[in-house]
């Protein structure tokens, strides 16, 4: 299934895999040096599995409503559909507009009892809004903060 928008092609594909990290999906608009506007628009699920595009590690953008409905957490195994990104410079996740989400199995580990890094179910977007954004270096995020909510 192809969709053409402004010269960019987006393909709908199937995927399946285990959630290894969940992060808030935030868009930052920087209009002056220290003034930022943040838009919390959902969550990025980092998956190890398979996609019909051939990737075995990828990220899928989901909405806050999808997270509230599914209550996804690290260790859950999911399957669904998603679209490849149209604007590579704007989108962080590999796939977005996820649909047909189905939880194949739930995590068996009680993640609430594990000490930091915290890997519990992610907080609501309202909680992220109240806490404010935290800027991390890419190196720190990729190592110590990757699985932390």
Q: 2-143 has which fold?
A: OB fold (Dihydrolipoamide Acetyltransferase, E2P) (2.40.50)
What parts of the chain have a pLDDT lower than 70? Answer: 1-8, 28-38, 109-120, 132-138, 140-146, 148-149
- CA–CA dist 41, 29 (Å, integer): 13
Classified as helix, coil or strand, 17 is strand
Tens-place pLDDT, residues 67-85: 999 999 889 999 999 999 8
Which residue(s) pair with 5 in the sheet? 8
Is the whole-model pTM more than 0.85? no
Distance of alpha carbon 39 from the chain centroid: 14
Q: Cβ distance 75 to 107 under 8 Å?
A: yes
């Amino acid at each position: 299934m192809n969709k053409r928008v402004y010269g960019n092609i987006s393909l709908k594909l199937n995927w399946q895999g285990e959630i290894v990290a969940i992060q808030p999906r935030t868009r930052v608009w920087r209009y002056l040096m220290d003034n930022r506007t943040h838009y919390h628009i959902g969550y990025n699920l980092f998956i190890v599995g398979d996609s019909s595009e051939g990737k075995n590690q990828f990220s899928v953008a989901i909405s806050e409503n999808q997270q509230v409905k599914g209550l996804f957490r690290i260790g859950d195994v999911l399957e669904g559909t998603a679209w490849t990104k149209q604007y590579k410079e704007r989108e962080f996740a590999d796939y977005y507009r996820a649909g047909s989400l189905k939880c194949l199995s739930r995590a068996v580990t009680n993640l609430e009892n594990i000490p930091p890094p915290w890997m519990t179910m992610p907080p609501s977007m309202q909680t992220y809004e109240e806490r404010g954004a935290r800027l991390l270096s890419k190196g720190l995020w990729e190592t110590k903060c990757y699985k932390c909510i």
